[in-house]
Amino acid sequence: MAINLSFILEKAGSVKYEDRPVPKLESPYDVLVNVRFTGICGSDVHYWQHGSIGSFVLKAPMVLGHESSGVITAVGDKVSTVKVGDRVAMEPGIPCRRCVRCKEGKYNLCVDMRFAATPPIDGTLAKYYSLPEDFCYKLPESVSLEEGAVMEPLAVGVHITRQADVKPGQSVVVFGAGPVGLLCCAVAKAYGADKIVAVDINEERLKFAKQYAATHTVVSQRESATDSAARITKDADLGLGADVAIDASGAEPCIQAGIQVLRTGGTYVQGGMGKSDITFPIGAMGAKELNVKGSFRYNSGDYATAVALVTSGRVSVKELITGKFKFKDAESAFNDTKAAKGIKILIEGVEDEA
Amino acid sequence: MSRVLASSAPARAALNGASLNASITRIVRPAMVKASKITNQKRDHSACCGPHLRSYATHSDLPSSEQNLSFVLKKKGEVTFEDRPIPKLTSPYDVLVNVRWTGICGSDVHYWQHGAIADFVVRAPMVLGHESSGTVTEVGEKVTSVKVGDRVAMEPGIPCRRCPRCKEGKYNLCVDMRFAATPPIDGTLAKYYVLPEDFAYKLPENMSFEEGALMEPLSVGVHINKQAGTKQGQTVVVFGAGPVGLLCATVAKAYGANKIVVVDINEERLAFAKKYAATHTIVSKKQSAAETAAQIIKECDIVEGADVVMDATGAEPCIQAGIHVLRAGGTYVQGGMGKPDIMFPIGAAGAKELNIKGSFRYDAHDYETAIGLVTSGRVSVKELVTKKVKFTDAEEAFEDVAASRGIKILIEGVPDRRDSATA
């Protein structure tokens, strides 16, 4: 019987199950978590298909997964904020805590970040996972472990929305109605945005967006960026333009339309990742004096905010969970995610063979 | 070919109908002309400037009959001197200024050569110029902050004061901005110009009119640094060693930037930059953006990447290199204007979580800051003035700027003869 069954990416296109040693607690501040649910992200699928993202290249077999929740089974000597039995959401990126970025509060940009399932760091699709206590967030009774696994993408949505500095009364256009785009809509709504326009090519996802958090939806068409912007502005009655544009697609036409749909002085946030180099309307950006920001994962306060938003009911994530697979059927879960079936698919933790 | 200055509309209309291909349309009332002092020189510029430019004549004596001699862009490629009515004060808060010095910007040259910048198209003759200083000659009833005789730097863009952008303090983004020499608004290359008192800034005793005319581009540099949030101890890279790039560098220095790297293709301008405000200079080469970034980091001993990049070129390779040379979390400011759509490294911008901002002209406090920097000696602008020409030689100044000769060229104003001290 396996002690720590793990779902591993051997090389691009090839996954397998393997037993691995139970992780040791590396510091007295670490905890051991029995992983219960893991969601799948586009980046997991990308590593599976291509074996790399940018300069991160898979060079040795690696455990997949990073969007997880679980139950604490062991704690280090100095742990004081959680105890054995606690149900937690797991923040999967551990920074060095010593570099300039860490010390200025932008630990997501840490030069020595160890991020689950970004090579060469093993991920969370295993029976057990160890991490520092301050990267575990207790889930209240009212929040399920399934919802706990959605805290990671929700934290991404929170970070993007905070980069955008969405304020009450503002209009926000979100390009992409996949999980991240939908969560950005939900957070923007919770932050008081008055108009939330979801844009996508997929009409089914737009229908969901309308019921979920968007006030308006627009179907992408083959047209110029300025035509697209004009159409969005007209359909959603945006006046001089949107206050905020968020891209959760990484797609060139969306990025261009996002810049064009903003009013002067507006804010654009790049959440999605696509082609590294695209044709970009820098003239419009300069003359309209836009604020354009990158957004990379999450940092200080984002996870806690995510948990708080769900606990208080200001954001609901249950409805995004459209499928659950057993651990042994993990590859099917990956296949469905790759085919854009549903919204968020979860893989259950390893079952004890009792 | 004789030139006549007509003070009446019918006379001007008659001349408009005539063939003016080879002459400048300055018309003088024959009785006022001192023939011996008028020279009629035509220069053939087709070799250096292209066939669309007009020839012109120099003139060493200005007839006293004109009210408000103005340097006008009739249409793309065609400039002329024209007398126009003295502008009236439009509100009790307005002042009338006798313009003393005017600098020229790349945008002025662009309207001259192309007749348009983006959606702003020259559809009717327009007075050029917007970088000016002068003397107040008249004040409206409610003016309290300046008086007749005051020497002022002129902020040339008047916002509406009512729209959401104005009321939130970003008046540079005003939907109804009336900006001098942006069509259809007339510019400052005239004897007189009207503006509200709060856009006329008194020049301290220790600042000359010439320095006053430099307050406009310096305010652009101040605004770019404000967008960048330049701080003590930072490493700043400026692309472009033209006037704006140089002024960005010197403001960054005044704000405490530790390392100021200026990048350009022009080695002469870089040599000047090194004496002026840069700690390091880099000559642009034909190489990839990533290679340029690596070169800058290596040669200037930068750890990880720059904190701030300011682009004062609008050139695609510079913009790309700017994104690549920044550290994670760094700030990029787009000051320069070039091609509206370029290949841009959005992946790097996203993954490094950069802050990228546009920068457009200037807004609240920028002009005061500019004046404060010069009067206190923290920034020096005198050395940027490489040539001064008389008002009637304005076209020569435009040609020099178009050819990137020198750094900042100033055009002298038309003196107000009522002010005997300046006659």
Distance from C-alpha of B127 to C-alpha of B134, rounded to nearest angstrom? 17
What are B294-339's pLDDT values in tens digits? 999 999 999 999 999 999 999 999 999 999 999 999 999 999 999 9
Q: Which residues of A touch B335 (CB under 8 A)?
A: 286
Distance from C-alpha of B374 to C-alpha of B354, rounded to nearest angstrom? 32
The share of chain A scoring above pLDDT 90, in percent, equals: 94
The answer to whether the CB atoms of B352 and A278 lie below 8 A apart is no
Q: Residue A351: which pLDDT band, with cuts at 50, 70 and 90?
A: confident
The answer to whether the CB atoms of A282 and B352 lie below 8 A apart is no
Q: Could you tell me the end-to-end alpha-carbon distance of chain A, in angstroms, rounded to an integer? A: 11
The C-alpha R_g of chain A, in whole angstroms, comes to 20
User: Residue A41 to residues A207, A213, A349: CA-CA distances in angstroms?
Assistant: 22, 21, 17
Residues sharing a CB contact under 8 Å with residue A170, sequence separation 6 or more, in sequence order? A192, A193, A194, A195, A243, A244
Residue B413 pLDDT: 97
The residue of A289, A291, A293 whose CB has the most chain B CBs within 10 angstroms, and thus the best one to mutate to test that interface, is A289
**Up-side HSE of residue B142: CA atoms within 13 Å toward CB?**
8
Residue B416 pLDDT: 81
Residue B62's nearest CA partner among B102, B18, B21, B29 is B29
The answer to whether the CB atoms of B329 and A106 lie below 8 A apart is yes
Residue in the structure block whose two tokens are 């991404």: A156
Residue B68's nearest CA partner among B98, B23, B31 is B98
Distance from C-alpha of B210 to C-alpha of A226, rounded to nearest angstrom? 43
Q: Which residues of A touch B165 (CB under 8 A)?
A: 264-265
Q: Which residues of B touch A264 (CB under 8 A)?
A: 165, 170, 173, 175
Residue B62 pLDDT: 52
Side chain identity at residue A227, one-letter code: D
The answer to whether the CB atoms of B339 and A278 lie below 8 A apart is no
Q: Which residues of B touch A291 (CB under 8 A)?
A: 355-357
Q: Which residues of A touch B342 (CB under 8 A)?
A: 279-280, 282
What are A151's two structure tokens? 């805290």
Q: What is the mean pLDDT of residues A323-351?
A: 95
Low-confidence ranges of chain B (pLDDT < 50): 1-61, 420-423
Q: Which residues of B touch A286 (CB under 8 A)?
A: 314, 334-337, 358-360
- With beta carbons less than 8 A apart as the criterion, state whether A92 and A147 touch: no
Residue A104 pLDDT: 87
Report CA torsion sign: B292, B344, B112, B77.
positive
Residue A179's nearest CA partner among A279, A39, A273 is A39
What are B206-224's pLDDT values in tens digits? 999 999 999 999 999 999 9
What are A160's two structure tokens? 């993007």
The share of chain A scoring above pLDDT 70, in percent, equals: 99
Report B:346-385 residues touching A (Cβ under 8 A): 346-360
Distance from C-alpha of A308 to C-alpha of A139, rounded to nearest angstrom? 9
Q: Is B37 left (phi over 0), alpha (psi -120 to 50) or beta?
A: alpha
Q: Between B227, B353, B358, which is nearest A294 by CB?
A: B353
Distance from C-alpha of B274 to C-alpha of B271, rounded to nearest angstrom? 5
Q: Residue A1: which pLDDT band, with cuts at 50, 70 and 90?
A: confident
Residue B11 pLDDT: 39
Q: Any idea which of A7-16, A234-243, B22-31 has the lowest mean pLDDT? A: B22-31
Average pLDDT, chain A: 96
- Would you call B12 exposed, middle or buried from its count of C-beta atoms within 10 A (0-12, 13-18, 19+)? middle
The answer to whether the CB atoms of B344 and A296 lie below 8 A apart is no
Distance from C-alpha of A101 to C-alpha of A19, rounded to nearest angstrom? 36
Question: What is the least distance, in Å, from the CA of A215 to any CA of chain B?
Answer: 24
User: Residue B49 to residues B54, B57, B110: CA-CA distances in angstroms?
Assistant: 10, 16, 14
Residue A352 pLDDT: 76
Q: What is the mean pLDDT of residues A33-56?
A: 94
Residue A74's nearest CA partner among A88, A63, A62, A60 is A88
